[in-house]
Amino acid sequence: MTRPATPSKATKKSCACCIPLLSSPIGRKWIVALTGIALILFVIGHLLGNLSIFAGPDAMNAYAAFLKSTGELLWVVRIVLLTCVALHIWFTITLWRENLAARPQKYAEKNDLGITVYARLMRISGLTVLAFVLYHLAQFTWEAFNPEYKTWVDVQGRYDVYRMVVTAFSCPFVSAFYVLAVGLLGMHLSHGIASLFQTLGLTTEKLRPVFEKGGLIIAWIIFLGFASIPTAVLLHLVKLPSSLPTCPFCQ
Amino acid sequence: MSTMNFHLRLWKQKCASDKGEFIKIHATEIPSECSFLEMLDIVNNRLTREGKEPVSFASDCREGICGTCHMVINGVPQGPGRGAACQVYMRKFENGQPITVEPFRVGAFPIVKDLVVNRSAYDRIIRSGGFISEHTGGAPDASTSLIPKPVADAAMDAAACIGCGACAAACPNSSPMLFVGAKVTHLGLLPQGQAERKSRARNMVRTMQEEGFGNCSNYYACEAVCPANVPASVIAMLNREYIRGEVSEAIGAID
């Protein structure tokens, strides 16, 4: 009978920080879940604001002017969101690195064992959404690609956000990337929403199917809500009031 | 008695530091009534008669209750269907089907030989918190502590865990949270487990991390393969118990 070899204890010290919650697997997952909740709330709020485009140029520009008028509060929200994004990604990466190290050799025979594709694609969907958010900010907030957006104002002298959005989405490439990104966001949320309840310890055997279906439904609503905007622009359901020029790249 | 043939691919590895490789065996005339382990016994007997070294695998009770047998059959830890690997029967397979048998691929379970891994890491997790303190002497009456039926049922469901390691083997992250959750739920729900309740989850999770296991991503592959049908809701209970223990410790709360 061969004696089982004594396995070497993991020599790697867990995170050097002294707060056990921030180095433990479950504590870090709680942070990912809690920051996830904040980001989901932002996504829902952002969607509701964006849907003002269907109420016409005046509603959307008024909504944008209202956001700008909040001043310091807007910066508080921005900093909180930025912190949430940073913590959400940072702790996910530290967990992921440990997960990779925990399986040094892969199986020869693959079997998905009932794992959903949404769960498997969490990292890819999350990172694609991150890349999209940076592009989205560069396009609409920093107006890096089209500096002329800054000069567009409506008749009341407000930033003409409506014209900016409709012009941008008139380009099929911009719209296609947008729909792809919100599709991946939906996939990320369908696993994320159900998953956060489990991580926060709120799931029971009875509730899990409810959270899983609920997460999927909310993810679909968010996806369809966001995707409806470029779709409406491309179908000319939402168009510029006058015959203003649209995407110079496509026309 | 009908017989079957299989194209086997079995993992051979001399020791933990050996690289290891698959050997291909055409297993002929296997009785269809055989269990999977009996099929391996037959193959090993033939290898021995040919003067070759048999393939090592672990087994003990062979009735699905001890949790000793552990192997990955066609990518499924403990093989297809519910129950441990010893509860898999050859009639579940197609005649002539290729079958790949691998050891558990978990960093914290180093390979001893071939299909046998060392699962002592689970014992060390148990030692750090999977116990209760109890008086010695005569056993008290069974009805001394009143336990509501749903609580007793939930504790029993969690107590069904046989510690076989399939959860960590199935998890893409090699996370043993179903196992740890089962112990924390089983002992945490019952009056006998209350003395260590606050520290149990913290200590077991810390040991789990020190042993080099991964973290739960809520994939639920563990639940899909668990031979004892332990539900993944025990992981939710572990998450809850852990934070409760950690926060109580941080703020110095007694209760």
- Looking at the structure, tell me whether residues B28 and B57 fall in a common domain: yes
- Looking at the structure, tell me whether residues B225 and B125 fall in a common domain: yes
The answer to the question of residue A248 being in a domain is no
The answer to the question of residue A30 being in a domain is yes
- Residue to mutate among B200, B215, B246, with most A CBs inside 10 A, is B215
Candidates A95, A107, A205; nearest CB to B102: A107
The H or E element spanning position A224 is helix A208-234
Residue B142 pLDDT: 82
Cα angle A129, A62, A185; round to 5: 15
Residue A242 pLDDT: 65
With cut-offs at 50, 70 and 90, classify the pLDDT of residue B138: confident
Does the pLDDT at position A3 exceed 90? no
- Looking at the structure, tell me whether residues B125 and B233 fall in a common domain: yes
Domain encompassing residue B153: 120-131+144-251
CA end-to-end distance (rounded Å), chain A: 79
Percentage of residues in chain A having pLDDT higher than 70 = 89
By CB atoms closer than 10 A (0-12, 13-18, 19+), residue A92 is: buried
Chain A residues in contact with B102 by the CB 8 A cut-off are: 107-109
Q: Chain A within 8 Å of B80 (Cβ-Cβ)?
A: no
Q: What is the CATH number of the domain that holds B74?
A: 3.10.20.30
Residue A8 pLDDT: 45
Percentage of residues in chain A having pLDDT higher than 90 = 75
Chain B residues in contact with A1 by the CB 8 A cut-off are: none
The answer to the question of residue A15 being in a domain is no
Mean pLDDT of all residues in A173-191: 96
Q: Chain A within 8 Å of B151 (Cβ-Cβ)?
A: no
- Residue to mutate among B99, B106, B233, B239, with most A CBs inside 10 A, is B239
- Looking at the structure, tell me whether residues B67 and B187 fall in a common domain: no
The answer to the question of residue A1 being in a domain is no
Does the pLDDT at position A14 exceed 50? no
The model's pTM: 0.91
- Looking at the structure, tell me whether residues B19 and B104 fall in a common domain: yes
Residue A155 pLDDT: 84
Mean pLDDT of all residues in A90-116: 95
Domain encompassing residue A56: 24-103+119-234
The H or E element spanning position B100 is strand B98-102
The answer to the question of residue B35 being in a domain is yes
With an 8 Å Cβ cutoff, are A29 and B110 in contact? no
In chain A, how many domains are there?
1
| Contact yes or no for A240/A166 (Cβ under 8 A) | yes
Residue A251 pLDDT: 46
Does the pLDDT at position A16 exceed 60? no
In chain B, how many domains are there?
2
| Contact yes or no for A152/A164 (Cβ under 8 A) | yes
- Looking at the structure, tell me whether residues B159 and B218 fall in a common domain: yes
Chain A residues in contact with B204 by the CB 8 A cut-off are: none
d(CA B166, CA B76) in angstroms, rounded, equals 9
Residue A11 pLDDT: 42
With an 8 Å Cβ cutoff, are A26 and B209 in contact? no
Chain A residues in contact with B202 by the CB 8 A cut-off are: 20
Q: Chain A within 8 Å of B229 (Cβ-Cβ)?
A: no
